[in-house]
Chains A and B, each alone.
Chain A
């Protein structure tokens, strides 16, 4: 028995528990849905692109905030606003921007993306300026900022969904793939062949971001400071670390990361609506905590957060595949959020 226990411990040291949980969930869902339907290539790719255009990248921002003992509830609002800014610039009907659409679409796309990232950085730094200089609880400032972003997005939308058409370069970001395989689909008596992308651009962006932040968190001074603040704020400040600057940067980066999600989501849907992305901030928290972050800060890594994000995506996709009603999905996700954080808190108390 003891050998088994130490064996399990050795295994979890190499392979995080969460990866086993992810595998377990996939097995359970494929048993419930039927492996042929659930483990189909198109469904697997669907989960991955849902993840990279939703909770996947946002979770990274949630992780950064939580790791430095904060929380960022404005992320969903920033996703919505950044996506809307992108769509508005790409579909501008008057002025130089409209002229660019025909003469230099690449330049227009670059402007749209940069503007969107800038908006994300601006809203993120609004959080950062306040939260790095005062000791106001972060949830309340970011909640207020969420409302501001959502409103700006609604005003920009002008009461309708902004659709983007004839922009293949832009659609490539969220819907494109570097490599595709053709697959024959049997639909009743008809057989048709369709292409399924197996190397989605959005997933590549996600993995690159995680790689980048994994390096930042491990190898740079900023990463060390973030972990230090999460470990012991007072001690970090006493030892001369510029905590104000570090916390500001955390929220600034959070805004930029959320803006990336906004661009990818708008591209994937080829449309921006003010409701896009709202609620992702809580999915992000759930993903980060499932991945091993503690609400008290200082723990987990970007890669573990990515596993958490995949778990949330698999869960949401699985619920739909099982045919669960939307209302039941809301209940289940709410319950998952509470259980996950409760387990984390209980674990910390024992330590």
Chain B
């Protein structure tokens, strides 16, 4: 009984997700086919990856607005510097370079939040501006495209009929799930998010934990950048403008609290799938794509209002 109570939040979200799915199948029977389900998963996987990074920041009562810009910069870096290599070894070197750069961006966010005590939304917005500016600076007005087949496989291939982004998202979620539930860092993240002061008094390195959360979020954004660049098969400085908002919406409906300390990876999965289903449903109902972007705004507000961990009534 207590196990059910503990997971009531996640279970109720799962129930809503299933109801949504059934409704969509009823409206359009072709929605239930395996091909379409795999397609939904593939579309969700990028949001899912980015949302996982942002959720790590939200768990320490922060936010990360920079993933979209990080994705743009990493794609430009890959297009400009790392695509020359045509051997697998050179590609791996390039990917390692991209991940290092994205970790540095995450560290810059972390430095501003943890060391300089800036409000997280301001710090990550400022860094986002700088990173996006760098992406524009490095493009020289060019669009880079035509990557090697091996690289295109990362985001566009499939193994046993399952699209590679789905597999990557699954691996990432397993790693982050393990990190949050089974490691000291995970426990520290929840502790810092629940109550920073008491975490500090109980001897937790708060600054280090905050830094780690933002570095991981940066790394994950860089990883998303690689998958996205590969799937798009081109690099432009404008990409990813909507990604952060979508991922925040997914994390919010997945029950990641903006006050920190509440939420888990299952919530993120359910949130990302719900967001994709909502978008799909809107398309089925013939709603213009312009409206679909705005739906994320409504979803963020509603999700926060419904979430009892965040929206405590004032006394």
Which residues of A pack against B, CB within 8 Å? 71, 73, 130, 133-137, 139-141, 143-148, 150-152, 154-155, 159, 244, 282, 285, 295, 325-335, 337-338, 341-342, 345-346, 349
Contacts and interface: CB of A to CB of B under 8 A. Distances in A.
A337 B119 CA distance: 12
Contacts of A331: 129-130, 133-134, 137
Contacts of B132: 330
Contacts of A73: 121
Contact of B258 (A140, A159, A295): A140
B116 A342 contact: yes
A147 B294 contact: yes
B118 A151 contact: no
Interface stretch (B1-9, B22-30, B200-208, B296-304): B296-304
Q: Which 4 A-B pairs have the closest CB atoms?
A: A151-B294, A147-B297, A334-B129, A330-B133
A327 B136 contact: yes
Given A329-B133, A345-B117, 12 more contacts: A137-B258, A144-B300, A144-B304, A282-B125, A285-B122, A327-B133, A334-B128, A337-B126, A338-B122, A342-B112, A342-B116, A345-B116
Contacts, number: 137
B162 interface: no
Contact of B294 (A136, A150, A159, A330): A150
Given A136-B310, A326-B136, A151 B293 contact: yes
A147 B291 CA distance: 10
Nearest to B311: A134
A140 to B, nearest CB: 5
Contacts of B276: none
Interface of B: 63, 112, 116-119, 121-123, 125-130, 132-137, 245, 248, 252, 258-259, 288, 290-291, 293-301, 304-305, 310-314
A15 B122 CA distance: 29
Contacts of A151: 290-291, 293-295, 297
B210 to A, nearest CB: 15
Nearest to A337: B126
A139 B116 CA distance: 19
A330 B304 CA distance: 31
Contacts of B299: 144
A248 to B, nearest CB: 13
Nearest to A147: B297
A288 B127 CA distance: 19
A330 B117 CA distance: 23
A145 B122 contact: no
A136 B304 contact: yes
Nearest to B310: A136
A155 B288 contact: yes
Contact of B137 (A159, A327, A334): A327
Contacts of B117: 345, 349
B245 A143 contact: yes
Identify the interface centre among A130, A144, A326, A329: most chain B CB within 10 Å of its CB: A144
A253 to B, nearest CB: 20
A341 B118 contact: yes
A58 B275 CA distance: 32
Contact of A148 (B252, B259, B297, B314): B297
Contacts of B112: 338, 342
A345 B310 CA distance: 25
A345 B126 CA distance: 15
Nearest to B244: A143
A134 B312 CA distance: 6
Contact of A334 (B130, B288, B298): B130
Contacts of B258: 136-137, 140
B37 to A, nearest CB: 28
Contacts of A143: 121, 245, 248, 297, 300
Contacts of B123: 338, 341
B134 A327 contact: yes
5 contacts: A130-B301, A136-B258, A147-B294, A244-B314, A330-B136
B134 A135 contact: no
A337 B271 CA distance: 32
A244 B129 CA distance: 34
Nearest to B259: A137
Contacts of B134: 327, 331
A308 to B, nearest CB: 15
B304 A141 contact: yes
Given A137-B258, A140-B300, A141-B304, A152 B294 contact: yes
Identify the interface centre among B122, B245, B295, B312: most chain A CB within 10 Å of its CB: B122
Nearest to A134: B311
Given A130-B305, A134-B313, A148 B129 contact: no
A140 B258 CA distance: 8
Contact of B116 (A133, A332, A337, A346): A346
